[in-house]
Structure 1
Amino acid sequence: MNRIAATVAALALSTSIAGAASAAETMRCSHQLPPPHHIAKVIDRWAAEVETLSGGEIDVQVFGADSLVKAKDNILSTAKGDIECAFSLNFQWGKTLPLMNVTLGPYTMSSIAAWKKWPTSEAAAFLEEKLSEKGVKNVAWMFITNTSVFTSKGKALITPEDFKGIKMRGIGPSFDRALNAMGAATVSMPGSEVYQALAAGVIDAAITDVAAAWSRKYYEVQDHMTVVPVLAAYVHGYVNPAWYAKLSDKSKAALKQAGEKAAGWALEASQEAAAAAPQQLADKGVKVHIATDAENAAFKAIMQPAYAEGFEKETGAEGKKLLELVAKIQ
């Protein structure tokens, strides 16, 4: 009888374990970053942490490099519930929520000290509320860069005059105004398409994170890069609210804790990548120029007023309030 009882108990335990495993909530997360990108690696680490902290209640499946949903469709797909989760760069909110572009102000949010405060700041909480109104629940803030490059071929972009007649990839209405003010013509396209557009001559130049210029192999199609602290960008992770509402308290806490940890990992990884990338690009034959204080001042004098005018028009009173909250962490 004891053997039979033990067998029955073992079968019951096995069934219980199988049932628990099958009950795991699937969390498909889409993003556009290529595997070598430092933030793509942070997202993978975040996913593993969510599974660990949730005790296996959440099965996180990460699909990078636009392999599940295209970058431009991530927000709507998550809001509709077609997928559970996605990561986007802040400027991909475009006209839907232009407040997300607050950090893109030329030479506005370049302080690492400020970014350490960002995830728990009033500014971040303000944006999380606005994101909720747009149909997504924010779960992670990941600083990606405060160091960018103007990429080009044949000639470096060192002064505002160098941008006249240049066709380049833009990153959003307000920031594009700043590029237009220097004479550039901007074209909207996701990051995954920029390499091919540069290779084919559809565009002449681009602005991107210095580490992304390396990970996306821009050095194969551009031979000059000017390093500028012109904008600060972030990737943020968000989930479908209805899906989130069904989670246990343990799983919700896991997402919160993993997001807090990932914010720190992203900051560390981004600083390391930014420090290493210029030399990596130079080793590939790129003529890398670090903009001088005078050159940055010349860019700022033209770009900042143009951006500010656009941001104010797009965001109104809410934009003014957000800028005040951002000023508190400077």
Structure 2
Amino acid sequence: MTTSRRSLLKFAAAAPAAALLPWSPARAAARLKISHQFPGGTTDDGDFRDRLCRKFAAEIAKRSNGELGADVYAGSSLMKTNAQFSAMRKGALDLSLYPLSYAGGEVPETNIGLMPGLVTSYKQGMAWKTAPVGKMLTDLLAEKGIVVVTWMWQAGGVASREKPLVNPEDAKGLKVRGGSREMDLVLQAAGAAVLSLPSNELYAAMQTGACDAGITSSTSLISFRLEEIAKHLTTGRGKAYWYMFEPLLMSKTIFDGLTKEQQKLIMEVGAEMEAFGTAEAQKDDEAVAKVYAKAGAKIYDLDDAVVGKWRAIARDTAWKDYAAKNANCAKLMDLALQVSA
């Protein structure tokens, strides 16, 4: 009779003494599944978010002598993008590198992961991890059945078809994908119509004219080849009002079913991936301008004055709306504002 992977996980959880033993062939093996929406590649080539997942999988296999491993399913090939968060909560998916704000419809507090103007630098975003806002967010996600394995932020920019979107006044009359409810509120206040869709559906929407401009991470602007249909690019290099929290997440049900040693290994390797993720995100902030310029698009960078305009709108719309959702949202917003830029 074949023993299922989940049976092995339950066996591991039921034998806490085994967690104290070194890795050996006799130990229960676990094969995890990592899903994400981004294009697939290898550990050395392609979208860095896919590479991060593959490096993570390779490292946990190496350090556990093959007793703990993972398979990566890129391009939403395992399940649809928006279904991944709920699947992790139920224990139906092991891990996902997931834009946290995509879960805002299910857990409103997660929209703080893409709150326009709140985070304005990588340093500030990563400082959340050890600040009170990070502890509260981590604890809240754990209550919802999610473990944060790797903290990662990405700056974003705008690819637009016919006219640039740099200042808030440029948004009037455009159909724009913002990436979160909060970003949509800011765009609407600036006069835009908004679309809600994951970044891997942006190309088709812009190609058909259903979307005039898409705001997304620098890496997605490259990976989804929007330079093929965009005549203008506003970059996130140097200055940006759009920073997305895009962590590697794990189902707490699955995590709790592992041995203490396996849990420790996952968290250690996850933390080690953070430097790689931040460095690669910053590289793409520069690379995206070159990709679009080569394709013939006009390139625009932001300055403090423009970022300040967007932040002022966000403060009066998205920030207030989010804080009014519930007590947790209000507290998270207050704690986030305490982390200096």
Map 1:1-330 → 2, pairs under 5 A: 20=25, 23-35=28-40, 36-143=46-153, 145-146=154-155, 148-228=156-236, 229-314=240-325, 316-330=326-340
In structure 2, what is the Cα distance between the partners aligned to 1:303 and 1:83? 34
Q: State whether residues 148 and 248 of structure 2, in contact with CA within 8 Å, keep that contact through their aligned partners in structure 1.
A: yes
Other-structure match for 2:19: none
**CA separation of 1:21/1:305 partners in 2, compared to 1, >3 Å: closer, same or farther?**
farther
Other-structure match for 2:15: none
In structure 2, what is the Cα distance between the partners aligned to 1:206 and 1:86? 23
Shift of residue 254, structure 1, vs aligned partner: 0.6
Shift of residue 233, structure 1, vs aligned partner: 0.9
Q: State whether residues 176 and 213 of structure 2, in contact with CA within 8 Å, keep that contact through their aligned partners in structure 1.
A: yes
Which has the larger helix fraction?
Answer: 1
Shift of residue 292, structure 1, vs aligned partner: 3.5
Q: State whether residues 95 and 249 of structure 2, in contact with CA within 8 Å, keep that contact through their aligned partners in structure 1.
A: yes
Other-structure match for 2:43: none
Larger radius of gyration: 1
Q: In the TM superposition, what whole-angstrom CA distance separates every residue of 1:145-194 from its partner, at most 9, and x where no partner exists?
A: 13x22221121123322211211223222221001001111111111111
2:224 counterpart letter in structure 1: R
Listed as ranges, the gaps of 5+ residues in structure 1 are: 1-18
Shift of residue 45, structure 1, vs aligned partner: 1.2
Alignment RMSD, CA only? 2.0
SS at match of 1:20: coil
In structure 1, what is the Cα distance between the partners aligned to 2:80 and 2:27? 29
2:199 counterpart letter in structure 1: G
Shift of residue 103, structure 1, vs aligned partner: 4.3
Q: State whether residues 218 and 281 of structure 2, in contact with CA within 8 Å, keep that contact through their aligned partners in structure 1.
A: no
Q: State whether residues 117 and 310 of structure 2, in contact with CA within 8 Å, keep that contact through their aligned partners in structure 1.
A: no
In structure 1, what is the Cα distance between the partners aligned to 2:131 and 2:305? 32
SS at match of 1:150: strand
Shift of residue 207, structure 1, vs aligned partner: 0.5
Q: What TM-score, normalized by structure 2, do the two folds share?
A: 0.84
In structure 1, what is the Cα distance between the partners aligned to 2:205 and 2:152? 27
Shift of residue 98, structure 1, vs aligned partner: 2.5
SS at match of 2:333: helix
Q: In the TM superposition, what whole-angstrom CA distance separates every residue of 1:251-302 from its partner, at most 9, and x where no partner exists?
A: 1111110111011211111112112221222112111111233333333333
**CA separation of 1:210/1:56 partners in 2, compared to 1, >3 Å: closer, same or farther?**
same
Return 155-164 or 21-30, whichever deviates more. Answer: 21-30
Listed as ranges, the gaps of 5+ residues in structure 2 are: 1-23, 41-45
Shift of residue 76, structure 1, vs aligned partner: 1.5
SS at match of 2:248: strand
SS at match of 2:120: coil
Other-structure match for 2:18: none
SS at match of 1:27: strand
1:102 counterpart letter in structure 2: I
Q: In the TM superposition, what whole-angstrom CA distance separates every residue of 1:48-89 from its partner, at most 9, and x where no partner exists?
A: 122223332212111111010111000122222222222210
SS at match of 1:206: strand
Other-structure match for 1:16: none
Other-structure match for 1:14: none
Q: In the TM superposition, what whole-angstrom CA distance separates every residue of 1:16-42 from its partner, at most 9, and x where no partner exists?
A: xxx938942010111111133222212
User: What fraction of aligned residue pairs are identical, expressed as a percent?
Assistant: 26
Q: What TM-score, normalized by structure 1, do the two folds share?
A: 0.87
